[in-house]
Chain A
Amino acid sequence: MDYSATTPVDPRVASMMIPYLTEKFGNPASRSHAFGWEADAAVELAREQVAALVNADPKEIVWTSGATESNNLAIKGAAHFYQGKGKHIITMRIEHKAVLDTVRELEREGFSATYLDPEPNGLLDMGKFKAALRPDTVLVSIMLVNNEIGVIQDIAAIGEVCRDKGILFHVDAAQATGKVAIDLQQLKVDMMSFSAHKTYGPKGIGALYVRRKPRVRLEAQMHGGGHERGMRSGTLPTHQIVGMGEAFRIAQAEMAQENERIRMLRDRLLNGLMTMEEVHINGDMEQRVPHNLNISFNFVEGESLMMAVKDVAVSSGSACTSASLEPSYVLRALGRSDELAHSSIRFSIGRFTTIEEVDYVIELMKNKIGKLRELSPLWEMYKDGIDLNSVKWAAH
Chain B
Amino acid sequence: MAYSEKLLDHYEHPRNVGSMDKDAAEVGTGMVGAPACGDVMKLQIKVGKDGVIEDAKFKTYGCGSAIASSSLVTEWVKGKTVDQALEIKNTQIAEELALPPVKIHCSILAEDAIKAAVADYKSKHGAVVETLACGENCKE
Point out residues on A near B: beta carbons under 8 Å: 299-301, 303-304, 307, 318, 320-321, 323, 325-327, 337-339, 342, 374-380, 388, 393-396
Question: Shortest beta-carbon distance, A394 to chain B, in Å?
Answer: 5
Q: How far is the CA of A379 from the CA of B138 in the complex (A)?
A: 21
Q: Are B59 and A325 in touch, CB under 8 angstroms?
A: no
B35, CB-defined interface residue at 8 Å: yes
9 contacts between A and B (CB under 8 A): A299-B61, A303-B64, A338-B36, A338-B37, A380-B42, A380-B59, A393-B36, A394-B34, A395-B33
Of the candidates A318, A325, A380, the one having the most CB atoms from chain B within 10 angstroms of its own CB is A325
B residues at A contact (CB < 8 Å): 1, 11, 14, 17, 19, 31-42, 59-64, 66-67, 102, 105, 112, 116, 132, 134, 137-140
Known: A325-B105, A394-B134. A375 touches B60 (CB 8 A): yes
> Are B41's CB and A327's CB within 8 A?
no
Query: Within the complex, which residue of A303, A337, A374, A395 is in contact with B134, where a contact is CB–CB below 8 Å?
Result: A395
Q: Chain A: which residue is nearest B135 at the CB level? A: A395
**A394 CA / B116 CA spacing, docked (Å):** 10
List B contacts of A301 (CB < 8 A): 38-39, 61-63, 66
Q: Is the CB of B34 within 8 A of A395?
A: yes
With A395-B137, A396-B134 as known contacts, state yes or no: A377 contacts B60, CB within 8 Å. yes
| Contact across chains for B34 and A396 when beta carbons are under 8 A apart | yes
| Complex: A325 Cα to B137 Cα, angstroms | 11
User: Is there an interface contact between B60 and A376, defined as CB atoms closer than 8 Å?
Assistant: yes
Q: How far is the CA of A337 from the CA of B37 in the complex (A)?
A: 11
Known interface pairs A325-B139, A393-B33; A378-B67 also in contact (CB < 8 Å): no
Instruction: Kindly list chain A residues whose C-beta atoms are within 8 Å of the C-beta of B66.
Output: 301, 304
Are A374 and B37 neighbours in the complex by a CB distance under 8 Å?
Answer: no
In whole angstroms, how far apart are the Cα atoms of A378 and B140 in the complex? 19
A303, A307, A380, A395: which contacts B138 (Cβ < 8 A)? A395
Contacts of B140 in A (CB 8 A): 338, 395-396
Tell me which residues across on chain A come within 8 A of B138, comparing CB atoms: 395-396
Q: With A and B bound together, what is the CA distance between A154 and B64 in angstroms?
A: 40
Contact B67 A327 (CB under 8 A): no
User: How far does the alpha carbon of A379 sit from the alpha carbon of B61 in the complex, in Å?
Assistant: 9
Residue from B32, B36, B61 in contact with A376 in the complex, judged by beta carbons closer than 8 Å: B61
Q: Is the CB of A325 within 8 A of B38?
A: yes
- Shortest Cβ gap from A164 to chain B (Å): 43
